[in-house]
Structure 1
Amino acid sequence: YGRCGGGGGKPALEIELDPYVNRTGHVWHVSLESVEGYGSYGFRCGLFGMGHPLLDPYAKVIGDLVAANSVHVKGITAPSMSCLGSLANPPSYSWGRDKQPRLPLEKLVVYRANVALFTKDKSSGLLDNVAGTFSGVAAKIQHFRSLGVNAVLLEPVFQFDQVKGPYFPYHFFSPMDSYGGEGCSASAITAMKDMVKAMHRNGIEVLLEVVFTHTAEGEADGQMISISGVDNSSYYIADEIAGCKSGILNCNSPVTQNLILDSLRHWVIDFHVDGFCFINAPFLVRGPRGEYLSRPPLLESIAFDPVLSKTKIIADPWSPLGISNVQFPFPHWKRWAEMNTRFSIDVRNFLKGEALIGALATRLCGSGDLFSNRGPAFSFNYVSRNSGLTLVDLVSFSNGDLASESSWNCGEEGPSEDSVVLQKRLRQIRNFIFILFVSLGIPVLNMGDECGHSSAGSTSYKDRVPLNWKALKTSFVKEVTGFISFLAALRSRRGDIFQRREFLKLENISWHGNNLSEPRWEDPTSKFLCMHIIAENDVNTPELTKGDLYICFNSNEEPASATLPAPAEGSVWLRLVDTSLALPGFFTTESNLKVHQVLGYSSYEVKAHSCVLFESKRDLPQFL
Structure 2
Amino acid sequence: MAMEMHVEQQAFCSRCVFGRKLKNSAMIGNKSILDFKTFATSAKSIEQVQQDTSIYDTEEDLERVVSYLFRAEVGGLVKVFVGVGSIKCSVFIEVSSLPNFTSDHKLALCWGIFRSDSSCFLLPDLESLAPETSQLADESQLGSFKTPFVQNSSGIYTVNLEFDCAQVPFYLTFALLSPSVAAACDLEIRTHRKTNFCVPVGIGRGYPLPLGVSVSDDNLVNFSLFSRSAEGVVLCLYDGSTNQPALEIDLDPYVNRTGDIWHISMERTKEYVSYGYRCKGSVQLDSGSRFHMRQVLLDPYAKRIGKLSPEKDQSVSSVNYLGCLDEEPAFDWNDDIHPMLPMEKLAVYRLNIGNFTKDKSSGLPKNVAGTFSGVIHKLQHIKSLGFNAILLEPVFPFDEQKGPYYPYHFFSAMNSYGCKNNHGLVDNSMKEMIKTLHENGIEVLLEVVFSHTSEGGDAACQAASFRGIDNSSYYIVDGDIGSGTNNALKCNSPVVQQMILDSLRHLVTDFHIDGFCFINASHLLRGVNGEYLSRPPLVEAIAFDPLLSKTKIIADCWSPLDMSCIKIDFPHWKKWAEMNASFCADVRNFMRGEGVLSDLATRLCGSGDIFSDSRGPAFSFNFIARNSGLSLVDLVSFSDDSLSSELSWNCGKEGPTNVSLVLETRLKQIRNFLFILFVSLGVPVLNMGDEFGYSVGGSPLYADRKPINWGYLETGFGSQIMQFITYLNSLRTRRSDLFQKKDFLKVENINWHGSGQSPPKWHDPSCKTLAMTLKTEKDETPSSSSNGDMFISFNASDVPDILVLPEVSEATIWHRLVDTALIFPGFFSNISDPDCHMVAGSSKYTMEPHSCALFEAREQESVLLANEI
Shared fold (TM-score greater than 0.5)?
yes
Which of 379, 382, 393 aligns to 1:141? It is 379
Deviation at 1:427, TM superposition (A): 0.4
The 8 Å contact of residues 46 and 229 in structure 1, kept in 2 or not, is answered as: no
Letter in 1 for 2:266: L
Distance 2:343 2:380 in 1: 22
Query: Structure 2 matches for 1:227-238, cutoff 5 A?
Result: 227-238=466-477
Give 1:2 deviation, angstroms: 3.5
Partner of 1:4: 240
Deviation string, structure 1 residues 152-205 (Cα, Å, up to 9, x no partner): 101110011111110111111110000011345422111101100110011001
The answer to whether the aligner puts 1:224 opposite 2:484 as a matched pair is no
Amino acid at match of 1:579: T
Listed one character per residue, the Cα deviations across residues 515-543 of structure 1 (whole Å, up to 9, x for unaligned) are: 21101112111000001111113252423
Question: How far apart are the structure 1 equivalents of 2:478 and 2:362?
Answer: 46
Name the structure 1 match of 2:600.
360
CA separation of 1:65 and 1:109: change in aligned 2, threshold 3 A: farther
- Are residues 68 and 249 of structure 1, via their aligned partners in 2, closer, same or farther at CA, if it must alter by over 3 Å? farther
CA RMSD of aligned residues (A): 2.0
C-alpha separation between the residues in 2 aligned to 1:276 and 1:151?
Answer: 12
Q: What do the CA deviations read for 1:549-608 (whole angstroms, capped 9, x no partner)?
A: 100000010011111111245211110000000111110036732111111111100110
Indicate yes or no: 2:759 matched with 1:522: no
Report the CA distance shift for 1:189/1:400 in structure 2 as closer, same or farther (over 3 A). Answer: same
The SS at the match of 2:678 is helix
Alignment of 1:545-584 (within 5 A): 546-568=787-809, 570-584=811-825
Deviation, structure 1 residue 30: 1.4
Q: Partner amino acid for 2:548?
A: L
Quote the offset at 1:477 in angstroms: 0.8
CA deviation vs aligned residue, 1:183-239 (integer Å, no higher than 9, x gap)? 454221111011001100110011111011100114224331111111111111112
Look up the match of 2:277. Answer: 43
Moved more, 539-548 or 373-382: 539-548
Counterpart check, 1:451 vs 2:692: yes
Give 1:152's match in structure 2, choosing from 375, 390, 395: 390
What is the 5 A alignment of 1:340-419?
340-373=580-613, 374-419=615-660
- 1:93 corresponds to: 331
Residues 269 and 614 of structure 1, relative CA distance in 2, 3 Å threshold: same
Query: How many aligned positions are there?
Result: 617
Displacement after TM superposition at 1:28 (Å) = 2.0
Deviates more, 1:561-570 or 1:166-175: 561-570
The secondary structure found in structure 2 opposite 1:224 is: coil
The residue type equivalent to 1:176 in the other structure is: M
Q: Could you list the per-position Cα deviations for residues 338-368 of structure 1 after superposition, in whole angstroms to 9, with x for gaps in the alignment?
A: 0000111000000000001111000000001
Distance 1:68 1:28 in 2: 30
Secondary structure class of the residue paired with 1:431: helix
Q: Could you tell me which amino acid in structure 2 is paired with residue 552 of structure 1?
A: S
Write the distance in 2 (CA, Å) between the matches of 1:116 and 1:539: 46
- Measured against aligned partners, the alpha-carbon deviations of 1:360-396 in whole angstroms (never above 9, x if no partner) come to 0000000011111111000000000111000000111
CA distance in 1, matches of 2:250, 2:484: 37
Q: CA contact under 8 A between 1:177 and 1:183: conserved in structure 2?
A: no
The one-letter code matched in structure 1 to 2:240 is C
State how far apart, in whole Å, the 2-side matches of 1:69 and 1:122 are. 33
Q: Which residue of 2 aligns with 1:74?
A: none
Q: Distance in 1 between matches of 2:686 and 2:841?
A: 35
Hey, what's the Cα distance between the residues in 2 that align with 1:595 and 1:608? 22
Q: In the alignment, is residue 441 of structure 1 matched against residue 677 of structure 2?
A: no
Tell me if the contact between 1:496 and 1:545 (Cα under 8 Å) persists in the aligned partners: no
How big is the shift at 1:78?
A: 12
Tell me, in whole angstroms, the C-alpha distance in 1 between the residues paired with 2:770 and 2:408: 49
Give the Cα separation in 1 of the matches to 2:257 and 2:321.
23
Match of 1:63 among 285, 306, 318: 306
Q: What is the CA distance between 1:90 and its match in structure 2?
A: 1.9
Q: Is the 8 A contact 1:69 1:80 kept in 2?
A: no
User: For 2:312 and 2:561, how far apart are their aligned partners in 1?
Assistant: 27
Secondary structure, aligned partner of 1:45: strand
Distance 1:299 1:58 in 2: 21
Flag the structure with higher strand content: 2
What residue identity is the alignment partner of 1:45?
C
Write the distance in 1 (CA, Å) between the matches of 2:780 and 2:762. 37
- Report the Cα distance in structure 1 between the residues aligned to 2:404 and 2:802, rounded to whole angstroms: 49
Alignment partner of 1:482 out of 713, 723, 726:
723
SS of residue paired to 2:670: helix
Greater relative contact order, per chain length (Cα 8 Å cut-off, separation 6+): 1
- TM-score (normalised: structure 1): 0.96
Deviations 1:492-537, CA, capped at 9 Å, x for gaps: 1111111111110111111001221101112111000001111113
Partner of 2:178: none
Contact 1:494 1:545 survives alignment (8 Å) = no
- Look up the match of 1:604: 845
Gaps of 5+ in 1: 72-76
SS of 2:344 mapped into structure 1: helix
Corresponding position of 2:80: none
Contact 1:278/1:316 (8 A) holds in 2: yes
Give the unaligned 5+ runs of structure 2. 1-236, 282-290
Distance across 2 between alignment mates of 1:539 and 1:54:
62
Whether contact under 8 Å (1:410, 1:421) holds in the other structure is yes
Aligned to 2:360: 122
- SS of the residue aligned with 1:30? strand
Alpha-carbon shift at residue 70 of structure 1 (Å): 13
User: Structure 2: how far apart are the matches of 1:235 and 1:180?
Assistant: 29
8 A Cα contact 1:391 1:452, kept in partner:
yes
Larger Rg: 2
Counterpart in the other structure of 1:33? 267
